Structure 1
């Protein structure tokens, strides 16, 4: 049997393959443009976040710089105070030494001997004094030895001087000191 189609048939239009390729190309280009836009927006957001973080860190740096200056000032002040404390401690230790030296010097000194100059430097002492008798100078030296604080006592000069018709013996003694001895 033969079939006959009485209805008018529509002719199919042939779509050119170029149009499909053009549509596909436009879709790819659109996708790429959209991707670039999204990536650009994402990078802009990251840049904005990084700039905010940098400005935040910059403010923090400025704040910490001020604090560091204060801390440095406190450290410098602490060092100055520590130096002063060390000086006071050294002076206190030296006081004990001076006290012992002067106490022993007083005990060693006969009645007619007086000291006019006393220089103490390091572990040595230099004494200038006067006496009414030469024997008192010798007694003074022996008494210094007996204190066991003075060592290597050296009588440098004994000079007789007349003051108001009175003979006075001026002398100079150097000695080593043993603190605590």
Structure 2
């Protein structure tokens, strides 16, 4: 009769350790793949017009605008802005309807370096008193919007509410930037 050999405890521990390590490596690869902003969306594209994000230092009535202040799109506000960042390429930019709402937003997925810079910029604005808790979105020297930032935005993408949050406004905004 043939003798059946039972694996030793040491061998069993090694097998379990190898399986645990393999599972951890597999999970790590999956997490990295899922967190790479737009990795599956192909290469980044250059924006037709650069888009700047700058911290608001002061906001006042639009009639009191002087150089180097910038006006809001509708002219009702005047902003004094700090140094920020300029986005010249993105992984993705699209108009998207918010779930359970009639509002539309523009979603921009940044390239890695811009995603990190935006996370830092938004983190510095978050928690500041008004108006320093706002980030101005500047296009061609005009403040398109200056939303309030409540938390650092570190996910590599941002949702922007533009022009009344309609589908047409969001789609038009995207067309201004995509080649």
Same fold (TM over 0.5): no
Which of these two proteins has the greater Rg computed from alpha carbons?
1
Higher normalized contact order (CA 8 Å, seq sep 6+, divided by chain length):
2
Select the structure that is richer in strand. 2
